[in-house]
Amino acid sequence: MEKALKSPENTRSRDPQRTKNQIMQAAVETFAAHGYHGAKIGDIAGAAECNARLIYHYYGNKEKLYLAALEHIYAKIREQEQQLKLDQRDPLAAIQTLVEFTFDFFDSNTTFVKITRNENLLGGVSFPRRPQFKRCRALCCPKSKGCWSAATPRARSPTGSTRFSFT
């Protein structure tokens, strides 16, 4: 039996960073579509066009890959929020800018919305375990305390939470 020779077009060079990026993109898409429990490492490997062993090599296990995917998507939104320079605006303008940016971001990043929705359905249990998430929040608006000092309690909702007015 003759062995099929690989043609140069079909040969893939080794590039660990490219592979990790492909794994991360596939993981984000898969976790967004199927949630943590529905996502399968084999499906992620197939979408990333790599061997499942590479996922375990780079990330250790499914839970660590999931946490890395959450960190990845939150880092993207926080990097963009940093560009808004909210700490250089007056508190009311900062809040308005942040709210507008957030709605626009959610509208154009449905994968972010899906994966965070799935995490919320799990009760957000992944967030307290990772110090990286605290850093992500701090990147957004380090002087945000000033924003909240401009807010005045407006009313109580039927669920008991306070609503604020920023006028």
pLDDT one-digit tens code per residue, 86-96: 999 999 999 99
Q: Rounded to two decimals, what is the model's pTM?
A: 0.69
pLDDT digits (tens, 9 = 90+) for 118-148: 888 877 766 555 555 555 444 444 444 444 4
114-121 long-range contacts, Cβ below 8 Å, gap at least 24? 114/32, 114/33, 115/28, 115/31, 115/32, 115/69, 115/70, 115/73, 116/73, 118/31, 118/32, 118/35, 118/36, 119/36, 119/70, 121/35
Domain 16-152 bears CATH identifier 1.10.357.10: yes
The predicted structure's pLDDT at residue 131:
59
**What is the model's pLDDT at position 134?**
53
Q: State residue 144's pLDDT score.
A: 46
| 152 bridge partner residues | 165
| Interhelix angle 41-48/62-82, nearest 10 degrees | 60
pLDDT at residue 123 in the model? 76
Contact 52, 90 (CB under 8 A): no
Could you tell me which of 33, 102, 40 has the C-alpha nearest to residue 74? 102
Query: What are the residue ranges in the chain where pLDDT is below 70?
Result: 1-12, 125-167
In this predicted structure, what is the pLDDT of residue 12?
64
